[in-house]
Amino acid sequence: MSGALSRADHWELPRTHDAVHPYHRLLRILRPLGRMWLDHQYDVRCYGAEHIARTGPQLIASNHVGYLDGPLLVSFAPRAVHALTKKEMFVGRTGLALRFGGQIPLSRYEVHPSAMKDCLKVLRDGGVVAVYPEGSRGSGELQRIKGGVAYLAMVTGAPVVPLAMFGTRDPGGGMESVPRKGTRCDLVFGAPIRLERRPWPRTQTEVRTETELLRLRLREHLAEAKRLTGRTLPGPIPGSDEERLLEGPPGG
């Protein structure tokens, strides 16, 4: 799939003919600056960047391990990326940089139609949207994912490029921790995954089915990325619900 979708696609349900493409001119400045700073701070290694097409709509679905995931993805992806970002980040100077850098605010705890509409607008205009389908930082093992990325792929037909990230949080590191200077950080892009484009109406059952199929494919890529890089993930964030779930009920 190359180039933007046709103008008629913006009139398909859900319609985006009246939506405004997120402002993103600041990305031209932020991406090279971010890449330069991160390269100075860390040993950043990218694999599989050729899987990001030069033009046309694409989704990037990444595991979510640490605070650096977003900056690394936006800075080192071969194309400008609009990433779904938790709305709590859109405050102060950071919020201004995110908003003028084309990132899309998302409420993680409720249905957020405007965020989905912004994503659809970007994709139908031929852009790239990045999603962390796990919903929050954690082990990055993709044990569970939410349905947003599968839904966007089903609506637009955009291919989903899997991304596995390693090194962005040290084992035992907390939610806001960053790795030590000089730490090796790996970004491994995989071959695009294609879900069947489905016209409206799309049922919740269809979305759930495609979401689980996508999760399994993302897990396959994660396993391959581990073999390629020799890396492991840091485990769940201490004190998180994920850690308690993996430990099982207390008391034996």
Q: Domain segments of the chain: what residues?
A: 22-247
pLDDT tens profile 92-118:
998 888 888 899 998 877 667 889 999
pLDDT of 249: 44
Burial environment of residue 81 by CB neighbours within 10 A (0 to 12, 13 to 18, 19 or more): buried
Beta bridge partners of 105: 85
Q: How far apart are CA 69 and CA 91, in angstroms?
A: 19
In this prediction, residue 252 has a pLDDT band, given cuts at 50, 70 and 90, of very low
pLDDT of 204: 92
pLDDT of 16: 87
Report whether CATH 1.10.287 matches the domain 22-247: no
The answer to whether residue 23 scores a pLDDT higher than 90 is: no
| Cβ-contact 69, 132 below 8 angstroms | yes
Average pLDDT, the chain: 90
- Helical pair 148-156 and 113-124, crossing angle rounded to 10 deg: 40
